[in-house]
Amino acid sequence: MSFLFDQIIFGPVHSRRLESSLGINLLPADYKFCTFNCVYCECGWTHKENSQKVKLPSRAEVYSELKKNLAKIQASGHHPDAITFAGNGEPTIHPEFDLIIDDTLQLRDEYFPETDVTVLSNASTLDKPRVFQALRKIDKNILKLDAGSKETYQLINLPRPGLSLKHIVGKLKDFNGNLIIQTLFVRGESQGKVIDNTTEQEIRTWIGLLKEIRPEYVMIYPIDRRSPEGDLEKISFDELRTIASKVETEGIKTKVFS
């Protein structure tokens, strides 16, 4: 069973990382569309090829729906903490992503100037200048780094061909610290192979990459909802806190979510 968003705008929902968050889904409403196929993804498996023709919401549709929802929230007297691009896969795939970011910033300034505009991304499209520049404009640029070694990266994230960990880390470094890293820790098995990014060696290698990237801070968290790969273990808060302390020893701030 997968967890999918069937509307362009959803929420506000309570997010363990972003508090009251109004979500934006730039992807299809009935299946996951992504450059990764992460074993833990709550949206399920990525079954359709990215080259296949898909129907995505237009820039005009996103603008109209976002404006309508922001006006409704304002009239209710509530205040979202974040406007978050997430949804059913990788939001930066959308061909008008950069223009939609500009529209969102304009509407945010009109309705809720103190609300953060946030993007949750797997960092797979950072080689596109328009995506990179759009992410530099927002308040919380949250990018995935789930592994320190290329072997574990392949096992956990199952990226599309040509997406190497080395290349992604190189692009993360180009933000010069103007980013937040998110890492999900997990143990288990998938397709007969052991998956574990909590080992001493994996943690050491991952921290080495963090030292190169020097993010504003790191978000550490476990699986929360049911994943497509059923044989996965939720890592305890105490173990996550131990991992965080090792990161903080290197002068990099962390936030742990359970």
1, part of any domain: no
127, part of any domain: yes
CA-to-CA dists, residue 166 to 51, 149, 170, angstroms? 24, 9, 6
Q: What are phi and psi of 234, to 5 degrees?
A: -80, 125
4, part of any domain: no
112, part of any domain: yes
Instruction: Note whether 165 and 138 are within 8 A (CB).
Output: no
Q: Which helix (H) or strand (E) holds 158?
A: none
Alpha carbons 81 and 110: distance in angstroms, whole number = 15
**Which SS3 state, helix, strand or coil, does residue 23 take?**
strand
Q: What is the pTM of this model?
A: 0.92
Task: Output the pLDDT for position 13.
Answer: 80
What are the strands of the beta sheet with 82-85, ordered from one edge? 9-15, 19-24, 82-85, 116-121, 140-144, 180-184, 217-221, 254-256
Scanning the structure block, which residue is given the tokens 């080992």? 199
Q: Domain total for the chain? A: 1
3, part of any domain: no
Q: What is the pLDDT along the chain (258 residues), one digit of tens a residue?
A: 456 667 899 988 877 667 789 999 999 877 788 999 999 988 777 765 544 567 899 999 999 999 999 999 999 999 999 999 998 889 999 999 999 999 999 999 999 999 999 999 999 999 999 999 999 999 999 999 999 999 999 999 999 898 999 999 999 999 999 999 999 999 998 888 899 999 999 999 999 999 999 999 999 999 987 666 668 999 999 999 999 999 999 999 999 998
Q: What is the extent of the structural domain holding 215?
A: 9-256
45, part of any domain: yes
162, part of any domain: yes
At residue 114's C-alpha, the angle toward residues 111 and 117, to 5°, is: 85
Write the CATH number for 127: 3.20.20.70
79, part of any domain: yes
